[in-house]
Structure 1
Amino acid sequence: MNIPLSLKIERSLHLDEGLLMTLQVYYDIELEKKKEAQSYHPDLSIYRKILFWDTDFDKLDWNTNKRYIINRIFERGNEKEILETIRFYGRDTILSLLDLNNKYAVNLKSNIQKYLNYANKTQISNSNTITKKGIDTINV
């Protein structure tokens, strides 16, 4: 939208002067943020697209949807995919976003123990609870 058109519409609709151009600027800012987010992703050649069968892999927002992505990869991913996810997001982010209460995520629990080295830095009690220094208690 250009300024002369914006002013004409604002006068016709009795809107405050500059309102439409202000909205246009906010819209342009959001578009630019989305473009920047497209370049924020791990090495995509490592991931199998079938892992995200229910969504368009090429349109995944690796920041906004990180909870979904991390849980899917730890439940259904292979070793390379899991290691790349750990490299990209980091251990603390992954631990804070994993959904350990999902009773259908049978591989998730074994994968976090295997790939996040819980034996060295956590205690696994008889009540299936994992406690990690600096992180709240996580039920397994």
Structure 2
Amino acid sequence: MKPVFEKRIFWDVDFESIDYDKSAKFVIQRVFERGDVSDIRECRRYYGIEKITKILLNVRYLPEKTLYLAAALLNKDLNEFKCYSLRQSNPELYPY
């Protein structure tokens, strides 16, 4: 059964044509960046915690607050996130 997300999360794409399986990385990242608690729960129900963890640990960018939220929800250290490591190696590229 396909997930039910708020259209506001995907305001810039054709919401009805999203392929949730082929675009898993995009959907998961977008839900964590712009979704609320119910959206994140729906994401976990559809994709499973293992897939979400794998994707979020390897994305190149997450906003700071999203990074901290993901680290707390996934019970992972910030150093395990690729986007955190990239920020540390190039701090002037990521203003806080």
Q: Same fold (TM over 0.5)?
A: yes
Q: Please, which of 60, 71, 81 is the counterpart of residue 101 of structure 1?
A: 60
**Structure with the greater relative contact order (CA < 8 A, sep ≥ 6): 1 or 2?**
2
1:1-140 map, 5 Å:
40-42=1-3, 44=4, 47-98=5-56, 99-102=58-61, 105-116=63-74, 118=75, 122=76, 124=77, 128-130=78-80, 138-139=81-82, 140=84
Partners of 1:62 and 1:100 in 2: CA distance: 17
Q: TM-score, normalised by structure 2?
A: 0.72
Letter in 2 for 1:88: Y
Partners of 2:68 and 2:59 in 1: CA distance: 11
SS at match of 1:72: helix
SS at match of 1:67: helix
More strand, by proportion: 1
Unpaired runs of 5+ in structure 1? Answer: 1-39, 131-137
Computed over aligned residues only, the root mean square deviation of the Cα atoms, in angstroms, reads: 1.8
Q: TM-score, normalised by structure 1?
A: 0.52
More helix, by proportion: 2
Say how many residue pairs are matched: 82
Stretches of 4+ moved more than 6 A in 1? none
Letter in 2 for 1:97: I
Identity of aligned residues (%): 27
